Every structure is written in structure tokens, then in C-alpha cells.
Amino acid sequence: MKDIRTLSLEQLTQYFISLGEKPFRAKQVYDWLWSKNLHSIEEMTNLSKELREKIAQEYTINPITVDELQKSTDGTIKNGVKLHDGLLVESVLIPTETRTTACVSSQVGCSLNCEFCATARLKRMRNLEVAEIVDQVALIDRQSKLYFDRPLSNIVFMGMGEPMMNYKNVVESIKKMTDPTGMGMSPRRITVSTSGIPKMIRMLADENLRVKLAFSLHSAIEKKRNEIMPFSGKFPLTEIMESLQYWYSNTGNPITFEYCVWKNINDTDEDIKALIRFCKQVPSKVNLIQYNPIGDGKYDQCNKEAEENYVRQLEKAGITVLIRRSRGGDIDAACGQLANKSSD
Ligand code: SF4
């Protein structure tokens, strides 16, 4: 049976008209589905019992469920989330003193093949539906209220999958999250993180969504980056930079470069110089992300001196740099680890 959440407001309106109902019923149902995140047609109490039964004969709601929940001593909560067809993705709640961030997945597995990533080992099974993305946000909002007594404040598309490879549903889910009559999230608190597909970056810039963009760079030396992220061989860094400049000129939003520094991979002065040259071409800042190892030993977090060297040289060059400490180190924190385990 079809999930009623695949219908747009217009389609819902047509559906109710076809049932001989008033068009405003569509708005009532839409509100239950997208503003209240209700997962039961039966509980739509402002509809008659008869109408609810009629709808339930044709449509269903396929909510996500939490299959496994891991809590870290630092407050991070990692959810292994089960989809209606039994596939698993991960959704993580990351708390700080002042905010709660939801890290959501956009695909089951991933179409790309970054060497350092646990998700890359799961082949891409399918794209997530709009409702499956929104459900992750609603789930983490509920967990934030339950465990931290405050609503969710930020959303990052940094979970499993490359958001740009599920472009249509990611964009639609952002529209649902930011709809003032729905969840009402501020777009400025939503970050789409991409491994860099120039055409899609340009498309997203044209959407006028007012979200932020993060780009997983990891090396500004072309050859090295192509080894770390083999698919990126198709997209030269100059082409990616042009799309980032297009993003900035269209949205006015600076780019965040996500960057891990790995021992014996990208921890030299030459790497830093290349990064500085890259950053200077577009308004941007750098997030140095501490790496959660995935167990094969090839990629290891660099030592403290190498990290400090990065910070010193970037700051000297006038580039804003933040260190993002690893969270959830005592649980399967690296994206894809939990789902990998379940598929063993
Ligand atoms: S890092 Fe992101 S884009 Fe690369 S394989 Fe992992 S999930 Fe996919």
C-alpha cells in the first residue's frame, strides 16, 4: 500500500475532492503528517471515523523505527534506524552545551567510495524517501526533548550517503523541515555536506533554500584527493572550486571545508600550503574533523603536533579554522559502523 506521505498537498487536495470531501481536509491531514509527525491515520482525530477508515483502505504510513540505540558517555546518541523494508541507516544526536545537532542519512549505503569511510563498504541499496529523512529529524527532536530538555537546533546531512545523489528527496525534505506551517526549522541551521559534485552544487545554489554548504575536501592536492576519494577523479578541483564560487555568489553563504588530517597521508607542510591556496579562492572556513577509525588501520588520526601545525599555518594565512573533536568514541561513532555491523 502506498505511503500517504508521498502525496503533495495538491495531490492530497485532489484526493479529498475525489472522495467528495471539502478541500480543507487535505490541509488537516498534511498538518498531522508534516507538522505533528503523526504516524497513525487512526489518530487523526479531527477527521470522522468513517473518513479515517476510507483513507486507511488506500494508504498507509511507513514510519522509521529505532532498531538499536547506543548512548555515549559524552551524550551522543546513535540510532540504528530501521526502514519499512527492513534496511538500516544511522541517525545521530550530537549534543553540546548549547545545541543539539541531528546528523541524518540520505541514502542506504552510499554510491561513492571514499577510502576512509565505513559507509562506503555498504553498497548503495536505495535512496531515502522524503518522509524517511524527515522522520529522522523528528526522532532526534523527540530524543533531544526527552534527554536534554530542549528541542533540536541544527541538522547536518552528514550521515550515510551522498545527499547530492539523492538530490530531489533531500531538497524536498529540507522544504518540509523549514516550512513555517510544518516543522519550522531555520534553514540557516541546516547544513548539506557533499563530497563535491559540481553540477549539483550549482543546482542547490539555484534553489534559494538558504541552507549552508559543507564540502568534504580532505586534500587540496588533486592526485592525493583522488586516492582518498576515488570517485573524485571525475571532478577536477578547479571545476569544484568554480561551483563553490558560484554557490557563494548566488547565496552569499561561505563554504565550510571538512577536513581530516591523517597520519602519513596528508599531514605535511605541502598539504597545508595546498589547502591554504584552495581556501583563498572563496570565502570559507575549515573544520578539522577528528577521525573515528574504522578498523583497517590505513587511516589514522594524525598526532597533536601535526594538527597544531595545521591550525597555526591556517590562522597565520587568515583562515578561520575550528577543531571538531570526535564524539561518541566509545560507541560505533564513525558513520556506517553500526549498519556495517548489522550486515555482518
Ligand atoms: S564519506 Fe560520505 S560520500 Fe564518501 S563514501 Fe562515506 S557516506 Fe559516501
- Same domain, residue pair 81 and 222: yes
115 plus 215 within the same structural domain = yes
Counts of helices then strands in the chain (DSSP H, E): 11, 14
191 and 277 inside one domain:
yes
How confident is the model at residue 181, as a pLDDT? 82
**DSSP secondary-structure letter at 129?**
P
pLDDT at position 344, please? 41
In which band, very low, low, confident or very high, does the pLDDT at 333 lie, cut at 50, 70 and 90?
low
**Residue 281 sits in the same domain as residue 304:** yes
Q: Which residues contact 252 (CB under 8 A, 6 or more apart)?
A: none
Span 108-127, pLDDT tens digits: 999 888 999 888 888 788 99
pLDDT at 179: 93
What pLDDT is stored for residue 120 in this prediction? 82
Q: How many CB atoms lie within 10 A of CB 199?
A: 12
Q: Quote the ligand 1 centre to 307 CA distance (angstroms).
A: 23
Tell me, yes or no, whether 306 and 253 share the same domain.
Answer: yes
Mutate to test the pocket of ligand 1, among 111, 114, 125, 229 (most ligand atoms within 8 A of CB): 114
Residues 202 and 180 in one domain: yes
Q: Which domain holds residue 15?
A: 2-60
Beta partners for residue 259, in sequence order: 288
327 pLDDT more than 90: no
pLDDT per position as a tens digit, 137-146 = 999 999 999 9
Q: Is the pLDDT of residue 245 over 60?
A: yes
Over residues 67-106, the pLDDT tens digits come to 999 999 999 999 999 999 999 999 999 999 999 999 999 9
Considering the domain architecture, whether residues 236 and 113 belong to the same structural domain is answered as yes
Q: How confident is the model at residue 343 (pLDDT cuts 50, 70, 90)?
A: very low
% of the chain exceeding 70 in pLDDT: 96
| Shared domain check, 256 and 169 | yes
**Cα 160 to ligand 1 centre (Å):** 7
Looking at the DSSP assignment, which residues form a beta bridge with residue 51? none
Residue nearest atom 7 of ligand 1, based on CA coordinates? 161
Position in ligand 1 atom list of the atom nearest CA 159: 7
DSSP character string of 105-116: --EESBSS--TT
> Is residue 79 within a helix (H) or strand (E), and if so which, with residue range?
strand 77-82
Ligand 1 pocket: which of 111, 160, 162, 218 to mutate (most atoms within 8 A of CB): 162
338/104: higher pLDDT: 104
In this structure, the residues whose C-beta lies within 6 A of any atom of ligand 1 are: 110, 112-114, 117, 119-120, 160-162, 195
Closest CA to 211 of 182, 194, 188: 188
Q: Does residue 342 carry a pLDDT above 90?
A: no
Query: Best mutation site among 90, 108, 110 for ligand 1, i.e. most ligand atoms within 8 A of its Cβ?
Result: 110
Which pLDDT belongs to residue 16? 97
Indicate the number of domains in the chain: 2
pTM of the model: 0.94
Under a CB-based contact definition with an 8 Å cutoff, are residues 19 and 11 in contact?
A: no
**Residue type at 290 in one-letter notation:** Q
State the closest ligand 1 atom to the C-alpha of 195, by its place in the atom list counted from 1.
Answer: 3
Q: Does position 286 have pLDDT exceeding 50, yes or no?
A: yes
Q: Are residues 7 and 144 in the same domain?
A: no
Centroid of ligand 1 to alpha carbon of 257 (angstroms): 15
Tens-digit pLDDT profile for residues 255-280 = 999 999 999 999 999 999 999 999 99
How many whole angstroms from 314 Cα to the centroid of ligand 1?
A: 26
Give the pLDDT confidence score for residue 298 in this predicted structure. 87
Residues 11 and 33 in one domain: yes
Average pLDDT over all residues of the chain: 93
Q: Could you give the CA distance from residue 28 to residue 284 in angstroms, rounded to a whole number?
A: 43
Q: Are 93 and 146 members of one domain?
A: yes
Catalytic residues: 90, 335
Q: Separation of 237 CA from ligand 1 center, angstroms?
A: 17
Q: In ligand 1, which atom is closest to the CA atom of 107?
A: 7
